[in-house]
Amino acid sequence: MVLMPENPTNRMRSTDEVCGYYAGKPKIRLEVREFPPTDEVTSVPVLLVETDSTGFEFLGNLFLAFARSSEGCHRHLAPDSAGSAYFREGCRLGLLLHRLPCEKAETPIENGGRRLL
């Protein structure tokens, strides 16, 4: 199933539209964890995102909609705030999507957050 075709008249235009589409689907349960550095895997912490195929489809469509939208430079989903329905119970990390260039200096990643890019 192609939910994000190149034809702009048929694609989801916002992350809200993606979330609305998946609201009526089977439950998505994201698990986001930081793995500490280990000699066996890597020397830096690794972010683990664990879910089923529907969850990864949701994330893929969310990322594409965000990349193509004009809804601002950041979108936050977390187990204790907006988007909490998409996270497994007990999950302690959320997602902050931040598109560069930044539109607002007060974006949390610009004020002391760890920059990943």
Query: Based on the structure, what is the number of domains in the chain?
Result: 1
Question: Would you say residue 75 lies in a domain?
Answer: yes
Question: Would you say residue 81 lies in a domain?
Answer: yes
- Domain extent for 93: 15-33+46-110
The pLDDT of residue 22:
92
Question: Would you say residue 96 lies in a domain?
Answer: yes
What does the pLDDT look like over 51-104, one tens digit per residue?
999 999 999 999 999 999 888 888 999 999 988 999 999 999 999 998 888 887
Question: Would you say residue 5 lies in a domain?
Answer: no
More confident residue, 24 or 20: 20
The pLDDT of residue 8:
46
According to DSSP, the residues that pair with 116 across neighbouring strands are: none
**Contact of 92 with 77, CB cutoff 8 Å:** no
pTM: predicted TM-score of the whole model, two decimal places: 0.76
Nearest to 99 by CA among 87, 109, 89, 113: 109
Question: Would you say residue 39 lies in a domain?
Answer: no
Question: Would you say residue 1 lies in a domain?
Answer: no
Question: Would you say residue 67 lies in a domain?
Answer: yes
